[in-house]
Amino acid sequence: MNKPKKSPVKELKSKVIKSSSTQERVMNLLLYLLEAEKPVPMRKLEALYGGGEESGEDKRRTIFRHLDILSGYGLEIIRGDKYGIKKKSEYLRTEFNLHESQALYFAAQEAISDVEMRRSIQQKLLQIFHSNKKRQNLLSKRTIDLVEFCDKQINQSKRKYQMRLLNYSSANQGTKRDRLVVPVSFSLENLEIYAIDLEDLDRVTRPKVFKLDRCEGITKLKDLAPKELQIHSHKLTRDPFGYLIYDDALLHVEAYFNLKAMTIFLLHFPYLTDQFQYLDTEVDKPFLLTLDIVRVEPVIGVFSVLLNHIRFENSAAFLSAWKAFHQANVEEGLARLFNSKK
């Protein structure tokens, strides 16, 4: 006689009892309410949160607080005798779209340390995707499958294999074809594969960026990476403007700003606020900006209009690169422009 299958709700309940993290408990409450066919009474939510040291009143306050967190995410919460999520809510008019499914998947990936719980939640997400036959949600499921494949076969694998990116659409080349590569690492945050292009080794030997959403699939080959390739196993990172950091020397910037200059600069780059330091020893320009960047292009436009309000120190390589860029692009471009007017 076959044993009855465990209810996914009961399985979820046992996990919540063990969880002390607010992030994990809110995530599980969200999934519980999504799985519920209709709003549920408070007693079921209290049972979901298990025993523990909390009194009934304290437990209800915790549940209300977690419901408020979900409401802050834009979800329309049903309250009263029973609790749930309105299906006509802005984010729940249909099943999850591509970006929502990715957000939930990565939220679980980052917030939940319990491996068994994380896999359980991610499998429930996939079940939700499977239940909808709309094309967009099938694409969501395929994307999640590719993410899982890349994370396992690239990031978690000690050996580097050749892979084929199927029908990869290149924005630079304007082509759509298979690409033979050796992946170095996979970015869960940016959904990008950093890989050595085996078809372009004569020109470029360092990893290129391949966007996951530009390929229709990935095939892992039996062949390992060629022995002559110098493959670094470390995770590739980016500078503050999104440029990949390879082995090249970064351009160091130390710039002292007055208040006016810093305000204008932060209007363009508000995410660089933490890069500023206030120095009370400096009278005229007390705000020090420190950056290490790959290329000069993102900042020199703003720097150019602020030159009377900033001072550079310990930035020789950056200033040299700025001068070279100006000569090759600005001066030559202006010369062509003015000569054409004659």
**pLDDT of 132:** 42
**pLDDT of 175:** 82
Lowest model confidence (mean pLDDT) among 4-8, 35-39, 65-69, 129-133:
4-8
Percent of the chain with pLDDT over 90: 21
Percent of the chain with pLDDT over 70: 71
pLDDT category at 314 given cuts 50, 70, 90 is: very high
**pLDDT of 225:** 86
**pLDDT of 13:** 39
Higher pLDDT, 110 or 231: 231
Residues 24, 88: Cα–Cα separation, whole Å: 25
**pLDDT of 6:** 39
Lowest model confidence (mean pLDDT) among 131-145, 194-208, 221-235, 308-322:
131-145
Stretch 158-172: mean pLDDT, rounded?
88
What Cα–Cα distance (Å) separates residue 100 from each residue in 5, 82, 328?
29, 26, 44
**pLDDT of 91:** 42
Over residues 228-245, the pLDDT tens digits come to: 776 665 556 778 887 878
Which of 120-129, 165-174, 217-226 has maximum average pLDDT? Answer: 217-226
Domain limits, the chain: 8-132, 145-234, 251-338
Which residues, at least 6 apart from 197, have a Cβ–Cβ distance to it below 8 Å?
Answer: 179, 180, 181, 204, 208
Over residues 250-274, the pLDDT tens digits come to: 999 999 998 888 888 988 888 888 8
What is the chain's mean pLDDT, rounded?
Answer: 77
pLDDT category at 89 given cuts 50, 70, 90 is: very low
pLDDT category at 163 given cuts 50, 70, 90 is: very high
CA torsion sign, 93 to 99 to 101 to 107?
Answer: negative
Is the model's pLDDT at 121 over the cut of 60?
A: yes
Q: What CATH architecture is 8-132?
A: Orthogonal Bundle (1.10)
Is the model's pLDDT at 337 over the cut of 60?
A: yes
Helix axes 297-305, 316-325, angle to 10 degrees: 90
Is the model's pLDDT at 123 over the cut of 70?
A: no
Lowest model confidence (mean pLDDT) among 6-10, 159-163, 242-246, 251-255:
6-10
Is the model's pLDDT at 296 over the cut of 90?
A: yes
Stretch 206-231: mean pLDDT, rounded?
85
**pLDDT of 2:** 47
Stretch 308-324: mean pLDDT, rounded?
95
3-state secondary structure the chain: CCCCCCCHHHHHHHHHHHCCCHHHHHHHHHHHHHHCCCCEEHHHHHHHCCCCCCCHHHHHHHHHHHHHHHHHCCCCEECCCEEEECCCCCCCCCCCCHHHHHHHHHHHHHHCCCHHHHHHHHHHHHHHHHCCCCHHHHHHHHHHHHHHHHHHHHHCCCCCEEEEEEEEEECCCCEEEEEEEEEEEEECCCCEEEEEECCCCCCCCCCEEEEHHHCCEEEEEEEECCCCCCCCCCCCEECCCCCEECCCCCEEEEEEECHHHHHHHHHHCHHHHHHEEECCCCCCCCEEEEEEECCCHHHHHHHHHCHHHEEECCCHHHHHHHHHHHHHHHHHHHHHHHHHCC
Stretch 192-208: mean pLDDT, rounded?
84
Higher pLDDT, 188 or 224: 224
Please give the single-letter amino acid code of residue 232.
Answer: H
Please give the single-letter amino acid code of residue 132.
Answer: N
b/e map 34-54, b = 16+ CB within 10 Å: beeeebbebeebbbbbeeeee
Count of other CB atoms within 10 angstroms of residue 207: 21
What Cα–Cα distance (Å) separates residue 206 from each residue in 18, 72, 106, 192?
45, 43, 28, 15
**pLDDT of 96:** 55
Which residues, at least 6 apart from 104, have a Cβ–Cβ distance to it below 8 Å?
Answer: 96, 125
Is the model's pLDDT at 11 over the cut of 60?
A: no
**pLDDT of 50:** 72
Beta strand 40-41 with 77-78: parallel, antiparallel or unpaired? unpaired
